[in-house]
C-alpha cells in the first residue's frame, strides 16, 4: 500500500532525526526554557522580520488553535471562521469547549473575505440588541485552507484591513503553511503574513517535523501571559527542547520551505496526470492537496494499492477524494500512481 491520504503518514525529516539523536543525552531545562527553543524562536523571528514578536512552540494543531483563540477572546466573544474551517468542523468542538462560539461564514473555496467579515461585524454592532448575540472578537483563517487553496497578498491585505478597522484579531492557522508559501502563484511571504496577521502559526507536524507548531504573536497587546495558557491547555511539553530542536532545524538553511516545495512539485505532477486523464477537480488547488472527482468503481480499484481520503459524494456514481503529497512523498510512488491513473479512463 502506498499512502497519499494525508501529510502525516511518516515520521520526521532525516535532519531532524539526526539532531534529536545528537542531543538526546544533553541535559536541559524543561518546558521550553532551553537554548534550542531560544535559538529556534530567534531564527523564526528573523525569518519573519518581526524582532518584537513572541514565539511559542506547541505540539499539535487543535491544541494550538484552542490555546490561541481562548487566550485572546473575552468570554462573550466568538471567532469568525469559514464554514469549512478546521475549528468549526474537525476539532470536536474544542473551541466551544473553551466557551466560545464559532461564527461560521459560508465559503465555497475555504476562504473568507474582508467584505464578509466587515458585514458580519457591522451587522452585529448595529443590532439593537447586540448583547443578546455573540460579539465577534477575532477572525480565524487557515492558509492553505482545508481545501488546499491559498490567500493572495491582496486578499490577506483586504482581510487584515477589515479586521483592523473593526478591532478584530486576525489569526492564521498555518498547519500547512510551507505548502502555501511555495505553491505556484503564491505571493505571500513569512514577512507579509507577520505584518498582516496578529498571530499565526507555522505548522511543523505536516511539514517535516515529528510534531510541533510554532505560534508567532506579533501584536503586542495579546502577548502577555501566554505561557499560562499553554500550560493550562496541556500544551507545555516537559521536554520542550524537542520542539526547539525540530524548528531550529527546519529554519536552518530554509529547510522548511525547501521540503515543502518538493511536495508541491510532486503534487503538480500528479495534478497534471489527473487533468490529462480527464478527471475534473472539486476545487482548483496549487498546493499539496488534490481534490479529484472520480467514478466510484475506479476509486475502488485504486483503493487496493493506494491510501487516499474520501471527501464527498458528487452524484450516484462519482465521489471527490483527496490525494496529498508531503515532504516525505517518494517520487517513485507518485510515478507509480500516475501510471495507474493513466491506465484508468476518466
The rounded distance, in Å, linking the Cα atoms of 218 and 198 is: 5
Smallest separation (angstroms) from a copy of itself to the CB of 276: 26
Phi and psi, residue 168, nearest 5°: -100, 140
Nearer to a copy of itself, 91 or 118 (CB): 91
Smallest separation (angstroms) from a copy of itself to the CB of 83: 10
Smallest separation (angstroms) from a copy of itself to the CB of 255: 16
Whether the Cβ atoms of residue 238 and residue 30 lie closer than 8 Å to each other: yes
Nearer to a copy of itself, 237 or 266 (CB): 237
The rounded distance, in Å, linking the Cα atoms of 333 and 311 is: 22
Nearer to a copy of itself, 160 or 288 (CB): 288
Nearer to a copy of itself, 128 or 315 (CB): 128
Kindly give the residue spans of alpha helices, DSSP state H, lying in the chain.
14-22, 35-48, 61-72, 86-89, 94-97, 114-125, 153-165, 177-181, 190-196, 226-232, 241-250, 255-276, 296-302, 331-343
List, as own/partner pairs, every contact residues 99-103 make where C-beta atoms lie below 8 angstroms and the sequence separation is at least 24, other chains included: 99/70, 99/75, 100/69, 100/70, 100/73, 100/75, 101/134, 102/78, 102/140, 103/78, 103/79, 103/134, 103/136
Total Cβ atoms within 10 A of residue 99: 12
Nearer to a copy of itself, 5 or 113 (CB): 5
Nearer to a copy of itself, 71 or 267 (CB): 71
The rounded distance, in Å, linking the Cα atoms of 171 and 176 is: 14
User: CA triplet 166, 69, 125: central angle to 5 degrees?
Assistant: 30
Smallest separation (angstroms) from a copy of itself to the CB of 231: 4
Distance of CA 150 to the CA centre of its chain: 11
Nearer to a copy of itself, 38 or 229 (CB): 229
Smallest separation (angstroms) from a copy of itself to the CB of 275: 26
CA dihedral (70, 115, 218, 61) in degrees, to 10, reads 50
Smallest separation (angstroms) from a copy of itself to the CB of 46: 26
Smallest separation (angstroms) from a copy of itself to the CB of 214: 15
Element (H, E) at 214: strand 213-217
Whether the Cβ atoms of residue 136 and residue 112 lie closer than 8 Å to each other: no
Smallest separation (angstroms) from a copy of itself to the CB of 239: 5
Nearer to a copy of itself, 1 or 154 (CB): 1
Phi and psi, residue 196, nearest 5°: -90, -25
Amino acid at each position: 500500500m502506498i499512502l497519499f491520504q494525508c501529510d502525516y503518514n511518516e515520521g520526521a525529516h532525516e535532519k531532524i532525526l539526526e539532531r534529536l539523536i545528537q542531543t538526546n543525552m544533553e541535559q536541559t531545562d524543561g518546558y521550553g526554557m532551553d537554548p534550542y527553543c531560544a535559538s529556534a524562536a530567534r531564527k523564526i523571528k528573523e525569518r519573519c522580520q518581526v524582532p518584537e514578536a513572541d514565539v511559542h512552540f506547541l505540539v499539535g494543531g487543535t491544541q494550538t488553535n484552542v490555546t490561541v483563540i481562548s487566550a485572546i477572546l473575552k468570554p462573550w466573544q466568538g471567532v469568525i471562521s469559514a464554514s469549512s474551517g478546521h475549528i468549526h468542523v474537525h476539532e470536536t468542538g474544542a473551541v466551544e469547549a473553551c466557551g466560545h462560539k464559532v461564527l461560521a461564514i459560508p465559503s465555497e473555496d475555504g476562504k473568507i473575505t474582508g467584505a464578509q467579515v466587515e458585514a458580519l461585524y457591522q451587522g452585529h454592532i448595529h443590532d439593537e440588541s447586540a448583547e443578546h448575540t455573540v460579539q465577534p472578537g477575532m477572525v480565524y483563517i487557515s492558509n492553505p485552507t482545508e481545501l488546499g487553496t491559498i490567500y493572495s497578498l491582496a486578499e490577506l491585505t483586504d482581510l487584515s484591513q477589515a479586521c483592523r478597522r473593526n478591532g478584530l484579531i486576525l489569526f492564521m492557522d498555518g498547519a500547512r503553511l510551507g505548502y502555501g508559501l511555495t505553491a505556484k502563484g503564491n505571493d505571500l511571504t513569512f514577512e507579509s503574513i507577520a505584518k498582516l496577521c496578529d498571530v499565526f502559526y507555522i505548522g511543523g507536524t505536516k511539514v517535516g517535523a515529528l510534531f510541533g507548531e510554532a505560534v508567532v504573536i506579533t501584536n503586542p497587546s495579546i502577548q502577555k501571559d501566554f505561557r499560562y495558557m499553554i500550560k493550562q491547555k496541556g500544551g507545555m511539553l516537559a521536554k520542550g527542547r524537542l520542539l526547539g530542536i525540530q524548528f531550529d532545524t527546519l529554519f536552518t538553511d530554509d529547510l522548511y520551505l525547501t521540503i515543502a516545495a518538493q511536495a508541491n512539485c510532486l503534487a503538480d505532477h500528479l495534478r497534471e496526470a489527473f487533468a490529462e486523464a480527464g478527471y475534473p477537480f472539486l476545487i482548483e488547488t496549487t498546493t499539496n492537496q488534490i481534490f479529484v472527482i472520480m467514478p466510484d468503481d475506479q476509486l475502488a480499484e485504486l483503493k487496493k494499492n493506494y491510501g487516499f481520503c474520501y471527501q464527498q459524494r458528487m452524484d450516484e456514481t462519482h465521489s471527490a477524494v483527496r490525494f496529498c503529497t508531503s515532504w516525505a512523498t517518494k517520487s517513485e510512488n507518485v510515478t507509480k500512481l500516475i501510471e495507474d491513473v493513466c491506465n484508468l479512463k476518466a
